């Protein structure tokens, strides 16, 4: 059995969209005020805002919820929020929701886990998700 010796070869495909490196080089040559490397690292930390009923209630008191990568820590979340939303967080709490086994329509499945960041802002600061 040749399971352990075989490896699939990766194909290099040229895409029509520019790569992240070429976008970073183009943005830095344009002389933008925000460092593009900071922007790409910020978008790689924060995946998306988590919009639920509970997060909507919390956002009225200045606490915003984001889904973050598994490798994210509090310092990287603070810097990403500063770069993306131009506000300074006062407190960050990170929660891990584990994956769960489910049984739907006679089939077993798994609902994936998620890592959340609860970001508290100063009074008067707001984040608009548009």
For residues 38-64, average pLDDT: 91
CATH topology of domain 35-121: Alpha-Beta Plaits (3.30.70)
Rounded to whole angstroms, the Cα distance separating 130 from 120 reads 19
Query: What is the β-pairing status of strands 114-121 and 107-111?
Result: unpaired
What is the reported pLDDT for 4?
Answer: 56
Evaluate if residue 20 carries a pLDDT over 70: no
Question: Is the pTM of the predicted complex or chain greater than 0.75?
Answer: no
Give me the residues paired with residue 9 across strands.
Answer: none
What is the tens place of the pLDDT at every residue in 77-91? 999 999 999 999 999
Rounded to whole angstroms, the Cα distance separating 41 from 24 reads 11
């Amino acid at each position: 059995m040749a399971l352990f010796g075989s490896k699939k070869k990766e194909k290099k495909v040229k895409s029509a969209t520019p790569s992240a490196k070429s976008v970073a080089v183009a943005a830095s040559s344009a002389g933008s005020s925000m460092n593009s490397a900071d922007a790409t690292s910020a978008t790689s930390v924060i995946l998306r805002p988590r919009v639920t009923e509970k997060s909507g209630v919390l956002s009225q008191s200045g606490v915003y919820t984001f889904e973050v990568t598994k490798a994210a820590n509090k310092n990287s979340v603070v810097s990403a929020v500063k770069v993306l939303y131009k506000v300074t967080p006062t407190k960050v709490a990170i929660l891990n929701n584990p994956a769960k086994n489910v049984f739907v329509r006679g089939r077993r499945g798994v609902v994936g886990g998620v890592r959340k960041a609860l970001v508290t802002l100063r009074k008067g600061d707001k984040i608009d998700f548009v």
